[in-house]
Structure 1
Amino acid sequence: MFTQRPSFRYIATGALVSLFTLTFLIIGTGTPRELSSKYILKAPSRPCPASSFSGNQSWDFVVERDGNNHGLSEDQCRTAFPKLYNELDKSSALRADRHFTYKEFDSRTVDDGMVRGIIDRGELYIVDYAPMPATATRARATLNSLYRALTAFPDRHLLPSIEFTFTTEDFAGDPNGSGPVWAYSKRDSDVSVWLMPDFGYWAWPEVQIGPYHEVRRRIAAIDDGEFQGDGTYVPGLQFQEKKKQLVWRGSLATNPPVRAKLLKSALDHSWASVRVIDWDNENDIRFNLLPIEDHCRYMFLAHAEGRSFSGRGKYLLNCRSVVISHALEWREAHHAALVSSGPDANYVEVDRDFADLPRKMEYLIDNPEVAERIANNAVRTFRDRYLTPAAESCYWRQLVRQYAAACDFEPVLFSTTRDGKTQPRGVPYDTWLLMH
């Protein structure tokens, strides 16, 4: 709250209101210790208002009811997705004793493929938008998802104000030499990178994958069945009815050392349906492309990293199939929920060179009950919980909270020019969207 100074006691009411409004716009909440045209230092402490279940303390996450709810409360998010914030917690721990300064943040140039924005009282503003020769759809998809997570949240005005930069590339360049940046994936050594949900949670048109909620519907239809428009019911595939093969379609160019070894290990095995796609060849795409939902018709799904993460991973984990992945170097937000051994295993991990792939495939084929248990665990863990649209929006808002806690500054949305005029530093997202 702001308190009125005694010296202003007798100023006319209209002038006082104008001054109060201008002060509010410039310095936001809290009491600043240092003021600049772009940011203020945070006050020593700023407690966050507690959230609640709105009186329903026995609430449990039910995917049929809550899976597409982008506006779950903070407590509901933590109850539903206890493993979701693992990567954010690690990033926060790295900055527990030394917060990011505005100088550090501002040192990162907004290069090609990058966006700089402000979130002020839950509203999104675009400050800078670099050229996007190859990733424009990624940027728009990411911004749309973030905007949805904010606007769906009834208490968004209580979210902290932040200034952030994200990259639409597969990974953040120069991750340790500049200020903080949001990216779709990171390695453990990338200490300045904060994980955000990838663009595919909105849509991925370049590889002919539509809106995420629609992909999930088509996947569930293959595994669980669905009613047609005329009311007839088409049953889904039972796990043991699926093709007893390991399927993979992709390009070698994005990660030859890893993906070539997958091809080599699968070569000449009857259980393998592994093919390379040349994305520059229309005939090759027509012959080899497999719609993402049709991957779920196979019992086993191969996963291999690309230049960094592989965007198909979350789609595969939506299937009631066994995902088989090499040891992963690049982290994504949902990876803390991956379990590779024991009764709760929800995927199978092989060596990074796929040398043990044949042995593990033979075991799974010979033990179908083990394979089916892993597939069912994947559905319960990912399709019906950690990879729901609700989980994505929960993650976005927690990213805002924990990133804010790691910064010692808050952005100033309106700056003052030398002639005393105020001007906004960013364009409201709903306005910006109409201009791009």
Structure 2
Amino acid sequence: MFAQRPSFRFLATGALVSILTFTFLIFGTSSSRNAASRYILKTNRPGSSSQAHCAQDTSPTLSNSSWEFIAERDALNHGLSDEQCRIAFPKLFVEVDKSVSLKQEAQITYKDLDSREVEDGMVRAVIDKGQLCIVEYAPMPVTASRGRATLNSLHRALMAFPERHLLPSIEFIFTTEDFANDPTGRGPVWAYSKRDADDSVWLMPDFGYWAWPEVPIGPYHEVRRRIAAIDDGETATDGTYSPGLQFQDKKKQLVWRGSLATNPGIRSKLLKSAQGRSWASVRVIDWDDENDIRFNLLPIEDHCRYMFLAHTEGRSFSGRGKYLLNCRSVVISHPLTWREAHHAALIASGPDANYVQVEADFSDLPRKVDFLIDNPQVAQRIAENAVRTFRDRYLTPAAESCYWRYLVRQYASVLDFEPVLFATGRDGKVTPRGMPFETWLLMH
């Protein structure tokens, strides 16, 4: 009898280890029961999904094997199918694919995500069954409109998609600052721009695709309409037609308006290179001086009245870049350090060039502008390429929504967990982690 007791103790110990191992596999490494109830590890079980969701929907699937993107018909369609998105925008998803490739060996865990503190200007959210829920919303003393714009754009991309209920469940954090701090060991974060070395940063569309009231720039679709009216003409509500501005009739000048403070190293060199040139309309704006703003501020669409548009980065990316690329004008830029979603479609040389790249110190700017003025057919070809590439394709509202959904899917592909929105406590009470976006919006 006594000889059997060690065996009994061994079995009891083994059972305890098994229970602990099972708990670890289900809930992860967090020692807090509250933290563990926020997610489940993914399994290979068919139909595995989050334990809770905001809502469900079903829609039919269409075959698009012979479909092609037509800007006049499809540019404002936020609900293109996956196949249509791939056909229309083959270069749009390069940066997301890069981020995925970095996580093939070590997927993102809940602990990784939780290591990224939600600091001022940041949002933590869940997408479950295509529904957006806000988990944490940090103070945004300067960037509040960016946060609301980004969430509205993401929500629009989800709601426009008939098969949103089939989208994977994810939990993510994004920042509304110009860039994300990316020290070693920090968890994943979505941001408007990134450098090549920012391995934990995932690119998302910037807030301007909704609106940018501080500048002021209105709704993106309305800005695009005003830009197209300058370039292509417009028919008024009374039926009268106002012709557009022909490329060769645009002002043969390089235009730029902005502050030196956000990037003095780059922008001061632009000013120096353009100083005293007859083709330069380059002016600094003092955003603290109302008179200076009144005399020097140029509405974004009026940039399109100029033949050449200078583009410079600011603290990170420059939000004006996508607006300039909507113009039938020649964008001239220094080499870009900060990546945006559409940058894979930029071409700087050859017959398909859609912008002109100059040296970082703008030393070759005079020579290249003089060449373009002396060779107007080259300048016009570049401008036309920009319209075809960006205004009529990669910078359309349709492309933005396609990008959002691709980001959701690919980010999910490297998560080893699925979020849980409703946790049941020891007392049996169900506690929601997040607030449905529709409710959150009415409270902010």
TM over 0.5: yes
Shift of 1:327: 0.2
Shift of 1:52: 9.5
Match of 2:159 in 1: 151
Match of 1:334 in 2: 342
Q: Are 1:373 and 2:386 counterparts? A: no
- Contact (CA 8 Å) 2:124, 2:137: kept in 1 or not? yes
What is the TM-score with the length of structure 1 in the denominator?
0.90
1:34 is paired with a residue of what secondary structure? helix
Match of 2:405 in 1: 397
Q: State how far apart, in whole Å, the 2-side matches of 1:52 and 1:59 are.
A: 17
Q: State how far apart, in whole Å, the 1-side matches of 2:47 and 2:360 are.
A: 45
Shift of 1:404: 0.6
Match of 1:8 in 2: none
| Cα 1:78/1:175, change in 2 over 3 Å | farther
Match of 1:69 in 2: 77
Structure 1 counterpart of 2:348, one-letter code: S
Match of 1:249 in 2: 257
| Cα 1:296/1:104, change in 2 over 3 Å | same
- Contact (CA 8 Å) 1:266, 1:274: kept in 2 or not? yes
Structure 1 counterpart of 2:306, one-letter code: Y
Match of 1:41 in 2: 41
Match of 2:115 in 1: 107
| Cα 1:94/1:240, change in 2 over 3 Å | same
1:402 is paired with a residue of what secondary structure? helix
Q: State how far apart, in whole Å, the 2-side matches of 1:53 and 1:317 are.
A: 34
Shift of 1:423: 1.1
Q: State how far apart, in whole Å, the 1-side matches of 2:292 and 2:410 are.
A: 45
Match of 2:213 among 186, 205, 210: 205
Match of 2:278 in 1: 270
Match of 1:169 among 171, 177, 180: 177
Q: Are 1:121 and 2:129 counterparts? A: yes
Write the deviation string for residues 135-160 of structure 1: whole angstroms up to 9, x where unpaired.
00000000000000000000000000
Shift of 1:295: 0.1
Match of 1:160 in 2: 168
Shift of 1:229: 2.1
1:205 is paired with a residue of what secondary structure? coil
| Cα 1:363/1:46, change in 2 over 3 Å | farther
The percent of aligned pairs where both chains have the same amino acid is 76
Match of 1:81 among 68, 78, 89: 89
Q: State how far apart, in whole Å, the 2-side matches of 1:175 and 1:234 are.
A: 53
Which runs of 5 or more residues in structure 1 are unaligned?
A: 1-31
Write the deviation string for residues 46-98 of structure 1: whole angstroms up to 9, x where unpaired.
799xx997134211000111100000000000000000000001000000111
Q: State how far apart, in whole Å, the 2-side matches of 1:352 and 1:52 are.
A: 51
Q: State how far apart, in whole Å, the 1-side matches of 2:175 and 2:232 are.
A: 37
Shift of 1:262: 0.5
Write the deviation string for residues 122-173 of structure 1: whole angstroms up to 9, x where unpaired.
0000000000000000000000000000000000000000000000000001
Q: State how far apart, in whole Å, the 2-side matches of 1:303 and 1:140 are.
A: 27
Match of 2:309 in 1: 301
Q: Are 1:310 and 2:318 counterparts? A: yes
Write the deviation string for residues 366-407 of structure 1: whole angstroms up to 9, x where unpaired.
110000000000000000000000000000000000111111
Match of 1:215 among 219, 223, 226: 223
Q: State how far apart, in whole Å, the 1-side matches of 2:184 and 2:227 are.
A: 39
Structure 2 counterpart of 1:298, one-letter code: Y
1:223 is paired with a residue of what secondary structure? helix
Structure 1 counterpart of 2:185, one-letter code: G
1:269 is paired with a residue of what secondary structure? coil
- Contact (CA 8 Å) 2:64, 2:83: kept in 1 or not? no
| Cα 1:175/1:69, change in 2 over 3 Å | farther
Write the deviation string for residues 395-425 of structure 1: whole angstroms up to 9, x where unpaired.
0000000111111111011112232211110
1:376 is paired with a residue of what secondary structure? helix
- Contact (CA 8 Å) 1:225, 1:234: kept in 2 or not? yes
Q: State how far apart, in whole Å, the 2-side matches of 1:340 and 1:364 are.
A: 14
| Cα 1:81/1:287, change in 2 over 3 Å | same
- Contact (CA 8 Å) 2:227, 2:326: kept in 1 or not? yes
- Contact (CA 8 Å) 2:127, 2:169: kept in 1 or not? yes
> Which one has a bigger Cα radius of gyration?
2
Q: State how far apart, in whole Å, the 2-side matches of 1:243 and 1:407 are.
A: 51
What is the TM-score with the length of structure 2 in the denominator?
0.89
Mean Cα deviation higher: 301-310 or 400-409: 400-409
Write the deviation string for residues 3-60 of structure 1: whole angstroms up to 9, x where unpaired.
xxxxxxxxxxxxxxxxxxxxxxxxxxxxx95133001111147799xx9971342110
Q: State how far apart, in whole Å, the 1-side matches of 2:200 and 2:410 are.
A: 14
Q: State how far apart, in whole Å, the 1-side matches of 2:113 and 2:79 are.
A: 29
Q: Are 1:178 and 2:170 counterparts? A: no
- Contact (CA 8 Å) 2:126, 2:171: kept in 1 or not? yes
Which runs of 5 or more residues in structure 2 are unaligned?
A: 1-23, 28-35, 49-58
Q: State how far apart, in whole Å, the 1-side matches of 2:184 and 2:246 are.
A: 48
Q: State how far apart, in whole Å, the 1-side matches of 2:133 and 2:356 are.
A: 42
Match of 1:228 in 2: 236
Q: State how far apart, in whole Å, the 2-side matches of 1:128 and 1:54 are.
A: 37
- Contact (CA 8 Å) 1:248, 1:302: kept in 2 or not? yes
1:207 is paired with a residue of what secondary structure? coil
Question: Aligned pair count?
Answer: 403
Match of 2:141 in 1: 133
Q: Are 1:195 and 2:203 counterparts? A: yes
Write the deviation string for residues 339-376 of structure 1: whole angstroms up to 9, x where unpaired.
00000000000111111111111111111000000000
- Contact (CA 8 Å) 1:215, 1:293: kept in 2 or not? yes
Q: Are 1:423 and 2:431 counterparts? A: yes
Match of 1:55 in 2: 63
Match of 1:409 in 2: 417
Structure 2 counterpart of 1:372, one-letter code: Q
Q: State how far apart, in whole Å, the 2-side matches of 1:46 and 1:75 are.
A: 24
- What RMSD in Å do the two structures reach over aligned CA positions? 1.5
